[in-house]
Chain A
Amino acid sequence: MVLLGESAVGKSSLVLRFVKGQFHEYQESTIGAAFLTQTVCLEEATVKFEIWDTAGQERYHSLAPMYYRGSQAAIVVYDITNQESFQKAKNWVKELQRQASPNIVIALAGNKADMANKRVVEYEEANAYAEENALLFMETSAKTSMNVNDVFMAIAKKLPVGPTQGQDSQGTVDMNQPQQQSKGSCCK
């Protein structure tokens, strides 16, 4: 999985909250990318997230394909108090749709939901955009941990069960269609 989005929208904070349950008010700016792992158990399967937390700074933009090309899922993060970050998120979504794997699960996360009094990106606007582009959408707050686990769980549930990309895709099971489960192999 890869996290994308403009600089200082809270990508690293989201990952830190998800992986370690921590939050730092002053999180250091990410350089290049950071690699973290977290395992979650769903009813149907166990999912191990290998998370590439990329740098939001423009100078690292050209490296992003390295991380998202092999990813099965992406979280595009924007800051609800920053309109520009939402625009940038739209560009990321467009880029993912053009260049990433066609089966990639994309989630849009409006971070810093605890700062709703400074909100400039309306929930309805983002939700409408997400619906148009068939994205998962949630407003999150790494600070209060609102919806953080939920967004990762929602992605986990949408991931196909079975061999990862690059391997034989036969036997891949869509968890949304339980009747298929008996046919496929499982990564448990």
Chain B
Amino acid sequence: MSSKGSGTEDVEDWLDIGNRAESTTSLNLDDVLVEIENLEDGLSEDTYTITEDDDGVYCESPSLDSDYTYHLDSDVVIHSHQSISRQIAAIRVKSGPPVAIAEKNGQIAIVTSKGHVQIFDLDGKLDRYYQGGEEAAACLAFSLDSKYLAVGFSKGTVKILNVKSGAIDLIIQPACQPGLGILQILYITGATSFLTLDTGGSVYELRVKTNFAGKRKSSMRCVFSGCNGEVVNMRMLPHAMLALLTVSKLLLVSTRFGGKILGTFAYRYSFHAPPLFTFWQAAKTLKICVTRGKTMNVMRLASSSTKSATLLKTLELPVDLVATHWISRDLVIGVDENGASWQIEIEKGKVGRANVDEIEIVFATSDFKGLATGSRVSEAMFHIADRVCYQSIQPATSTPDRLIILSHDGLKICETVTEWEQLERFRENDDEISAALYLLDVVKGKRKAAEVFRNEAPNLLRDSCRKLLDCCQNGCDAGKVAQLTAHYRKYIKIILKIAISAKFFDVIYQEVWSKISLDQISKSIFFEFLDDFVLDGLMFDMPPAILREYLENLANLSHFSQFQLAVVRFPIYSIDIHQVMTICRANSLYDGIIYVMNNALMDYISPLEEMLDAIAAFAGNEVLSDNQIECGNRLLLYLNCCLAGRAYPIGSLPKNGETTVPLEIYRCITSLRGKDGKTEENYPYLRLLLQFDPQQFVHVISTVADAKLFQTDGRLQRITDTIGLICVSLRKEQPLVHFLLLVVQLTERGLIAPPVEMVQDAIISLLRIATWQSGLAEPAIIGMLRAVGGIDRTLVLRAAQAPIRPTISSFLYLSERRFLDLLKSYIDPPKHVIFASIDQILQLTDLTSQESAEIARFLRENLRILQRLDAESTAKMMIQHGFLDWLRTSQEFPLIRAILRQRQAAKLAQISGDDELDEQLFGVFFEGSLKEKTIDDAELLRVLRFWSPTGSRSDFCLNLVAQRAPEFTEAEVFLLESRGHVERGFERLFAMLEAGEDLVRWLDECLNFCCRHSTHQNSNAWMIQIFRHVASGKNSEENLNEKLKMLVRRIIDSGTEHAEHLVTSLLDCRAFSAAPLSENLEIVNEILASCEYEKRLLQNVLRVQNAENSALNRELYGFIGRRAEITDSGECATCQGALTKSAYVFRCGHFQHIECATSSTKLCPCQDNLKEHQLHRLWTTSQSTMGPATRKRDIFAEWSTPLDLLPKNR
């Protein structure tokens, strides 16, 4: 609706938003609506996350370690304002229950149901008490300058009180649409202009002016009409923005520019829950939180940006909320209808119930239902009325972290909990551990806190640590040792964690140690928990006395592994060297020895020599113990660290050590005569290392090959040569293999020039070793031959012939393209490995035609040798490489058999592709198989079936099996059938049946034969012949019954095709016809049952067919049918009106007026499906077109209608 300015007032000054709410096409916040729709399409809640860090301290979640967790109480506390609550209670009888509150800068005003107003200060002192008439009040609001208090009444009056004097300043009646009540008053500027909201959902702006005579006057105009969607609540935002919460959407309006709409936001429908609004203002941004029911949307508004609103998060809540308040940067407090408080952490999306008492909220039900004005409210207002408490829950204006709540039992204040209060609560609960962990998180910055508290936290934590120590010492006065141990463990672990994390080393080394060390149990637990911190290198400046005891404790407990790890983590000056060396030497703990020698004496050689001496004792053993391996590995690791210029096992070498230590160690291990110069062999240390574990030693060299030491003076080259020399002299597989691998690696990395002669010697030495233990030798040699040129390949090839090394030989021949030489080397004497080589050669893609021809010629010439060596491999080779044509001249049975087998396995029923040749080859195979007598009748039949018709093209195979009759009867019958001699086939089978051996099998075969040839003219005759034979007197009487039964069953099993003949034959049979029915009842029943079964089967098949096609039949019927279905009733499914207007008729029998149809999909209200509806529409269309032609026409129907001769389009 539009409104006009009255007389002197400027039109632009008035808010005017009624009409604009209808058309929001050019709004800045439309993006929000789109984003909300996207969210509903299934985007995750985290699609939009809060990215800015506008103020406050980043808060990280506390440690996840379960031993170090604590639970905070709720972030808010609700306490009752005793003074105000008492005063409200005191006037309750006289003034009625309180219904609404207002707060401004510490002043709290409360109005009762009878319209009495009390104004308190924050301490609860009653400043003013206004006792007006008896009219029911609904709301109240302070003016922005706090000088006036406007009270809204349920019958539409607004009274303005002067706060200072307590007198009525002005009564405006009505301050809304006449006959409606006031729901809310909201001052927008100073003390002269405010908005009222009435029970019709309309918003009015009222202005108060003082005329010349000093008389106060008001003017009013409607700025938003409830017919656009009732407004239920109004909120002022910073930057002169006004939020109007209507029943369906939020409108953001600027009050500066005559009520310009800034944006809209539609909530998800939740009719019974009131829409809620709260906001948080940071330095540059304004975040708003809009809640309806269980859905909470958080958005950020920016004043200067093209995209002025961004949806940050959508949260689903577990309950419907009736009030929300953004209490701190990341925390929104919600209240549900039962008065329970909920904490919603916006950033993390966490929602939880606050651990505070429930509040008995005062709801404004009667006002929203408009009970005082005759319930003239909309359905939407009526539905939310039971859960509306806008007037009884108000955020404080002076500070955001306070919410003032009017409850049935007084006034409540909801506030955030301070760090001090939280700490106090832990201590009240005797939970010093949680208090200390909380303080630790504050100190470490994992939990945000006020600056004052943060500054004080280290001292508080120190005190807390001391308190924990007291608890540890005094908490367990009596009980079992186990209980005392558990008690100590609980406290010492926390004390250490806190003191070390906060770096309170003075507390640990002095106060904690002095008390803990008094008790042996607590001392050992202290040391036990110290282990992890020591390993993490967190123990700084530990006094030597404590360290000594700690190490001694580890040694006493035989925790030598931890002992070694601990020693290297303490600075050398705090270690008792004598103690460590004694323990290490006694237990062969080389890590400790190395650490002390390296750091205290700067001696890197002695520990190496010591360890080399140690492994010399067992290096030559075939089997090593785990300890020996560990000792050797430690030596290798030490060697690796020293050569790479790193400290062992952690840390770094002193500055000049990085160049001197590697050199010293290099000289040591490459020394020609060892430590004393007494050894007979050269390079004793290198020899020892290569003997102990050549692979790992080679890895050591490989991993440090990049080091500066090896990159200067050709040291890498020299040590590689030396290793090669030793390996060749050792003549052992492992050293030789790993030497070759080392050379390949280093050559590929471009670090050395390959020592060709040495490598050649190594390869020859390796090839001369009869059997290789590992599979690495061949790849190593081939890798070497690939990587290094200049090796005498003839020499290597010769060495690879005895003992034969096929892979290496192949590699050498192939690399020189000496294909025939390679094949010749395997043909005399023949070696199976030739087939792999043939494959390898023939798979080469770059073979010239001449090479191919030579190879083919060679293979053809040696085909006989190859097939004798391995027919299967030869067959495979011929098939794979297309040499099957050679079979025209070479028709050896084993080769052909192998080819046929492989073809059969590949399910290919062709041999060469030439039918004539295939027949010939199959004949060779068939004859050979019969001669070898390795094949039986069944197998032969299988082969014949697979190779049909190759085997049955001529009588060759038939003649062969006929000569050997009756050994291969089945095969013979198959061939007879294939060759078209069906009657001879039956005769052969019947002869077998007559022979009487294996009656069941041949009966089976005969019946199957009859079934196969059921169309043959003699089929029935054969069947009866079989039956008569079985029922004939040649068989003894006692067996008759059983055989008959069996035969009948066989016939029935093969189908009921011959049932009629069977019954006739049975009746001809005396044994059956003469016998009483009871004897043969079983057979008769079986025959009948079989027939019945087939009959039912047929019926069911028909039924299924009908059912499956019925939908299509109906559809077809729909297209061709000529008759409309009868509607169920004569009423429209929506309005129940008669069929007097245009209507849709649905398949379900209902109809609906076109004007009553709401949905664009035109579905019947009874949920008739669309498809049927469309079908019917199609049907009606077809009916309308074919109607006149198909219906019997009543030519007299329009007899009385006058003729209309005017044109149709007039």
- A interface residue numbers (CB < 8 A to B): 31-33, 35, 37, 52, 58-60, 62-63, 65-67, 69-70, 98-99, 132, 166
Q: Given the complex, which residues of A lie within 8 Å of B64, measured CB to CB? A: 132
A66 and B640 contact, Cβ closer than 8 Å, known pairs A32-B693, A99-B649: yes
In chain B, positions 492-543 with a C-beta closer than 8 Å to chain A are: 535-537
Pairwise interchain contact B637-A62, C-beta atoms closer than 8 A: yes
Pairwise interchain contact B633-A67, C-beta atoms closer than 8 A: no
Q: Given the complex, which residues of B lie within 8 Å of A166, measured CB to CB? A: 706-707
The A-B contact count (CB < 8 A) is 57
Pairwise interchain contact B745-A35, C-beta atoms closer than 8 A: yes
Pairwise interchain contact B626-A66, C-beta atoms closer than 8 A: no
B679 interface residue per 8 A CB criterion? no
| Residue of chain A at shortest CB distance from B699 | A33
Q: In the complex, what's the smallest C-beta–C-beta distance from A132 to chain B, in angstroms? A: 7
B650 interface residue per 8 A CB criterion? yes
B634 interface neighbour in A52, A62, A67, Cβ under 8 Å: A62
Q: Mark B632-653, 1 if CB is under 8 A from A, else 0.
A: 0110110011001010011000
Pairwise interchain contact A32-B696, C-beta atoms closer than 8 A: yes
Q: List 6 A-B contacts (CB under 8 A).
A: A35-B741, A62-B630, A62-B633, A65-B637, A70-B644, A98-B536
Q: Which 5 A-B pairs have the closest CB atoms?
A: A62-B633, A66-B640, A32-B695, A63-B633, A59-B629
Pairwise interchain contact A32-B699, C-beta atoms closer than 8 A: yes
Pairwise interchain contact A31-B695, C-beta atoms closer than 8 A: yes
Pairwise interchain contact A98-B745, C-beta atoms closer than 8 A: no
Q: In the complex, what's the smallest C-beta–C-beta distance from A48 to chain B, in angstroms? A: 10
Q: How far is the CA of A17 from the CA of B1191 in the complex (A)?
A: 78
B579 interface residue per 8 A CB criterion? no
Pairwise interchain contact A66-B745, C-beta atoms closer than 8 A: no
Q: Given the complex, which residues of A lie within 8 Å of B630, measured CB to CB? A: 59, 62
Pairwise interchain contact B626-A35, C-beta atoms closer than 8 A: no
A69 interface neighbour in B536, B537, B646, B748, Cβ under 8 Å: B646
Q: How far is the CA of A59 from the CA of B693 in the complex (A)?
A: 13
Q: In the complex, what's the smallest C-beta–C-beta distance from A2 to chain B, in angstroms? A: 10
Q: How far is the CA of A99 from the CA of B640 in the complex (A)?
A: 15
B702 interface residue per 8 A CB criterion? yes
Q: Given the complex, which residues of B lie within 8 Å of A37, measured CB to CB? A: 748
Q: Mark B691-727, 1 if CB is under 8 A from A, else 0.
A: 0010110011011001100000000000000000000
Q: Given the complex, which residues of A lie within 8 Å of B700, measured CB to CB? A: 66
Pairwise interchain contact B637-A67, C-beta atoms closer than 8 A: no
Q: In the complex, what's the smallest C-beta–C-beta distance from B643 to chain A, in angstroms? A: 10
| Residue of chain A at shortest CB distance from B627 | A59
Pairwise interchain contact A66-B695, C-beta atoms closer than 8 A: no
Q: In the complex, what's the smallest C-beta–C-beta distance from A103 to chain B, in angstroms? A: 15
Q: How far is the CA of A59 from the CA of B633 in the complex (A)?
A: 9
Q: How far is the CA of A32 from the CA of B737 in the complex (A)?
A: 15
Q: How far is the CA of A65 from the CA of B536 in the complex (A)?
A: 17
Q: Given the complex, which residues of B lie within 8 Å of A31, measured CB to CB? A: 695
Pairwise interchain contact B699-A66, C-beta atoms closer than 8 A: yes
Pairwise interchain contact B695-A63, C-beta atoms closer than 8 A: no
B703 interface neighbour in A70, A98, A99, A132, Cβ under 8 Å: A70
Q: Given the complex, which residues of A lie within 8 Å of B693, measured CB to CB? A: 32
Q: How far is the CA of A65 from the CA of B634 in the complex (A)?
A: 10
| Residue of chain B at shortest CB distance from A167 | B706
Q: Given the complex, which residues of B lie within 8 Å of A66, measured CB to CB? A: 636-637, 640-641, 699-700, 703
Q: Given the complex, which residues of B lie within 8 Å of A52, measured CB to CB? A: 699, 703
Q: In the complex, what's the smallest C-beta–C-beta distance from B97 to chain A, in angstroms? A: 53
In chain B, positions 615-631 with a C-beta closer than 8 Å to chain A are: 626, 629-630
A63 interface neighbour in B637, B644, B706, Cβ under 8 Å: B637
Q: Given the complex, which residues of B lie within 8 Å of A58, measured CB to CB? A: 626
- B interface residue numbers (CB < 8 A to A): 64, 535-537, 626, 629-630, 633-634, 636-637, 640-641, 644, 646, 649-650, 693, 695-696, 699-700, 702-703, 706-707, 741, 745, 748
Interface of B is mostly: helix
Q: How far is the CA of A122 from the CA of B636 in the complex (A)?
A: 38
Q: In the complex, what's the smallest C-beta–C-beta distance from B371 to chain A, in angstroms? A: 54
Q: In the complex, what's the smallest C-beta–C-beta distance from B748 to chain A, in angstroms? A: 8
Pairwise interchain contact B535-A98, C-beta atoms closer than 8 A: yes
Q: How far is the CA of A32 from the CA of B748 in the complex (A)?
A: 22
Q: How far is the CA of A62 from the CA of B594 in the complex (A)?
A: 15
Q: Given the complex, which residues of A lie within 8 Å of B748, measured CB to CB? A: 37
| Residue of chain B at shortest CB distance from A97 | B536
Q: In the complex, what's the smallest C-beta–C-beta distance from B354 to chain A, in angstroms? A: 27
Q: In the complex, what's the smallest C-beta–C-beta distance from B936 to chain A, in angstroms? A: 37
Q: Given the complex, which residues of A lie within 8 Å of B649, measured CB to CB? A: 65, 99
Q: In the complex, what's the smallest C-beta–C-beta distance from B275 to chain A, in angstroms? A: 37
Q: How far is the CA of A58 from the CA of B649 in the complex (A)?
A: 18
Given contacts A32-B699, A63-B633, A99-B650, 7 further A-B contacts (CB under 8 A): A32-B696, A33-B699, A66-B700, A66-B703, A69-B640, A69-B641, A70-B703
Q: Given the complex, which residues of A lie within 8 Å of B641, measured CB to CB? A: 65-66, 69
Pairwise interchain contact B699-A35, C-beta atoms closer than 8 A: yes
| Residue of chain A at shortest CB distance from B537 | A98
Q: In the complex, what's the smallest C-beta–C-beta distance from A51 to chain B, in angstroms? A: 12
B633 interface neighbour in A60, A99, A132, Cβ under 8 Å: A60
Q: In the complex, what's the smallest C-beta–C-beta distance from A62 to chain B, in angstroms? A: 4
Q: How far is the CA of A66 from the CA of B707 in the complex (A)?
A: 14
Q: Given the complex, which residues of B lie within 8 Å of A99, measured CB to CB? A: 649-650
Pairwise interchain contact B703-A67, C-beta atoms closer than 8 A: yes
Pairwise interchain contact A59-B703, C-beta atoms closer than 8 A: no
Q: In the complex, what's the smallest C-beta–C-beta distance from B443 to chain A, in angstroms? A: 21
A35 and B702 contact, Cβ closer than 8 Å, known pairs A59-B630, A70-B644: yes
Q: In the complex, what's the smallest C-beta–C-beta distance from B741 to chain A, in angstroms? A: 8
Q: How far is the CA of A58 from the CA of B706 in the complex (A)?
A: 28
Q: In the complex, what's the smallest C-beta–C-beta distance from B701 to chain A, in angstroms? A: 11
| Residue of chain B at shortest CB distance from A69 | B646
Q: Given the complex, which residues of A lie within 8 Å of B636, measured CB to CB? A: 63, 66
Q: How far is the CA of A99 from the CA of B537 in the complex (A)?
A: 11
Q: Given the complex, which residues of A lie within 8 Å of B696, measured CB to CB? A: 32-33, 63
Q: Given the complex, which residues of B lie within 8 Å of A98, measured CB to CB? A: 535-537, 650
| Residue of chain B at shortest CB distance from A48 | B749
| Residue of chain B at shortest CB distance from A67 | B703
Q: Given the complex, which residues of B lie within 8 Å of A67, measured CB to CB? A: 699, 703
Q: Given the complex, which residues of B lie within 8 Å of A132, measured CB to CB? A: 64
Q: How far is the CA of A32 from the CA of B699 in the complex (A)?
A: 9
Q: Given the complex, which residues of A lie within 8 Å of B629, measured CB to CB? A: 59-60
Pairwise interchain contact A69-B644, C-beta atoms closer than 8 A: yes
Q: In the complex, what's the smallest C-beta–C-beta distance from A70 to chain B, in angstroms? A: 6
Most buried by B among A52, A67, A70: A70
Q: Given the complex, which residues of B lie within 8 Å of A33, measured CB to CB? A: 695-696, 699
Q: Given the complex, which residues of A lie within 8 Å of B646, measured CB to CB? A: 69
Q: Given the complex, which residues of A lie within 8 Å of B745, measured CB to CB? A: 35
Q: Given the complex, which residues of B lie within 8 Å of A65, measured CB to CB? A: 637, 641, 649
Pairwise interchain contact A59-B650, C-beta atoms closer than 8 A: no
Q: Given the complex, which residues of A lie within 8 Å of B640, measured CB to CB? A: 66, 69
Q: How far is the CA of A12 from the CA of B776 in the complex (A)?
A: 15
Q: How far is the CA of A25 from the CA of B745 in the complex (A)?
A: 28
Q: How far is the CA of A166 from the CA of B741 in the complex (A)?
A: 25
Q: In the complex, what's the smallest C-beta–C-beta distance from A92 to chain B, in angstroms? A: 14
Most buried by B among A63, A69, A132, A166: A63
Q: In the complex, what's the smallest C-beta–C-beta distance from A187 to chain B, in angstroms? A: 14
Q: How far is the CA of A67 from the CA of B640 in the complex (A)?
A: 10
Q: How far is the CA of A151 from the CA of B64 in the complex (A)?
A: 28
| Residue of chain A at shortest CB distance from B569 | A98
Q: In the complex, what's the smallest C-beta–C-beta distance from B500 to chain A, in angstroms? A: 16
Q: How far is the CA of A32 from the CA of B695 in the complex (A)?
A: 7
| Residue of chain A at shortest CB distance from B742 | A35
Q: How far is the CA of A37 from the CA of B741 in the complex (A)?
A: 13
Q: In the complex, what's the smallest C-beta–C-beta distance from A32 to chain B, in angstroms? A: 5
Q: How far is the CA of A62 from the CA of B648 in the complex (A)?
A: 12
Q: How far is the CA of A29 from the CA of B612 in the complex (A)?
A: 28
Q: How far is the CA of A168 from the CA of B450 in the complex (A)?
A: 45
Q: How far is the CA of A37 from the CA of B637 in the complex (A)?
A: 23
Q: In the complex, what's the smallest C-beta–C-beta distance from B1108 to chain A, in angstroms? A: 38
Q: How far is the CA of A31 from the CA of B748 in the complex (A)?
A: 23
Q: Given the complex, which residues of B lie within 8 Å of A70, measured CB to CB? A: 644, 703
